[in-house]
Amino acid sequence: MLFSDEENTIQIAPDAYLLKGFLLRHSNTLLPALAEVIKASPLRHMATPNGYQMSVAMTNSGEWGWVTDQQGYRYSKRDPVTNLLWPAMPSIFRQLAVSAAKTAGFEDFEPDACLINRYAVGSKLSLHQDKDEADFSHPIVSFSLGLPAIFDFGGNTREAPKIAISLEHGDVIVWGGRSRLNFHGIRTIKAGQHPLLGPYRFNLTFRRSQA
């Protein structure tokens, strides 16, 4: 190993860490598991409550899945497209998410939801807070795969100063505690080709949605 885990763990805010390259050795198990999930519950462009279609395509794995439609944002046990339960969270997803949370100081993270976001070139995710979960004492664990992106990470008001973090294939961000409700977003994805994932960025966001 070139660097120790400590050197790859970079604090970005109180209780928020970038784990640089954390997933790099696991692409060969993560990517087939990701493909299986997408086969069972296909990626789709959901509508926001005010009627816009999201540029990011989404699906979920785990007991609960995050959905949005005219009725609002919420967690659902069923995929509204297939009407089936969401595919189970692959054990490699869970293991790596729990281990990333531990590395960032969150000992007992047990995710019950894994949202999968696929960004095509030109797509973005506007500044928002993750606040559809029952208990904000649990952190968010976020995996980056494929094309690079700029992640804006702010404070707990929309106006608070932001830092811009470059996220590459294999990086993980964990935020919780004092940063749990920080605003964040992904800037427009630039054209490119990733050797494993082509013209896409995938983000896997692990959360504890229920109390």
Residues at the interface with Fe ion (CB under 5 A): 130
User: Closest separation between CB of residue 173 and ligand SIN, Å?
Assistant: 7
Of positions 8, 59, 123, 205, contacts ligand SIN by CB under 6 A: 205
Q: Which does 209 bind (CB under 5 to 8 A by kind): Fe ion, ligand SIN, none?
A: none
Of positions 9, 60, 61, 117, contacts ligand SIN by CB under 6 A: 117
59 binding ligand SIN? (CB under 6 A): no
Q: Is 50 exposed, middle or buried (0-12, 13-18, 19+ CB in 10 A)?
A: exposed
User: Closest separation between CB of residue 84 and Fe ion, Å?
Assistant: 25
Which CB, 98 or 186, lies closer to ligand SIN?
186
Tell me if 25 sits within 8 A of 95, measured CB to CB: no
Count of beta carbons in the 10 Å neighbourhood of residue 105: 14
The residue number whose beta carbon is nearest to ligand SIN equals 203
User: Closest separation between CB of residue 151 and ligand SIN, Å?
Assistant: 6
The alpha carbon of residue 17 and the mean position of all alpha carbons in its chain are separated, in whole angstroms, by: 14
Smallest Cα–Cα separation from 205: which of 127, 141, 123, 132? 141
Which CB, 130 or 133, lies closer to Fe ion?
130
Of positions 100, 174, 186, 189, contacts ligand SIN by CB under 6 A: 186
Helix, strand, coil % (nearest 5) of the chain? 15, 35, 45
Helix (H) or strand (E) segment spanning residue 176: none
Tell me if 176 sits within 8 A of 103, measured CB to CB: no
Which CB, 5 or 135, lies closer to Fe ion?
135
Quote the tokens at residue 122.
Answer: 């030109």
Beta strand 113-120 with 172-175: parallel, antiparallel or unpaired? Answer: unpaired
Which CB, 174 or 186, lies closer to ligand SIN?
186
Which CB, 1 or 191, lies closer to ligand SIN?
191
